Amino acid sequence: MKLLVEIVVKRKKGVSDPEGNTISEALQRLGYDSIDKVRTAKLFSIEIDADNLADAKKTVMEIADKVLANPVIENFSIIDIEEMN
């Protein structure tokens, strides 16, 4: 089956996010007083051939651990898996 897996890589807590800080400051300047904090992240959409969901998940987690994320500063999690038509 062909699956579409979406995985998010974001910086760990305590790791500074200069881009997120700049965005939240800009939003506050624009008058959005309710915004406290913005954190940025990367989203990867991966098309994968797999026998089942579990296999696809396993491969994508392995890829994320090895390549997509740097474990020193980043965490990752799969946010969506769906079968493609």
Partner 1 sequence: MKTGVVIFPGSNCDRDTHRALSSLNNMVDLRGSCSVKFLWHNDYELDDVDLIVLPGGFSYGDYLRTGAFARFSPIMKAVVGFANKGGLVLGICNGFQILLEANLLPGAMLPNSSLRFICDWVDIRVENSDTPFTYGMKKGDILKMPIAHFEGNFFADDNKINEIENDNSVVFRYCNARGEVNLKSNPNGSINNIAGIMNKRGNVLGMMPHPERASDDILGSNDGKGIFISALNWLKR
Residues 35-54: x/- map of binding to partner 1 (CB under 8 A)? --------------------
* Nearer to partner 1 among residue 4 and residue 73 (C-beta): 73
Site for partner 1 in 5-34 (CB under 8 A): 14-16, 18-19, 22
Q: Burial, 29: exposed, middle or buried (Cβ in 10 Å; 0-12, 13-18, 19+)?
A: exposed
Q: Determine contact, residues 59/50, Cβ cutoff 8 Å.
A: yes
β-bridge mates for residue 4, sequence order? 47, 82
| List of residues contacting partner 1 (CB under 8 A) | 14-16, 18-19, 22, 67-68, 70, 72-73
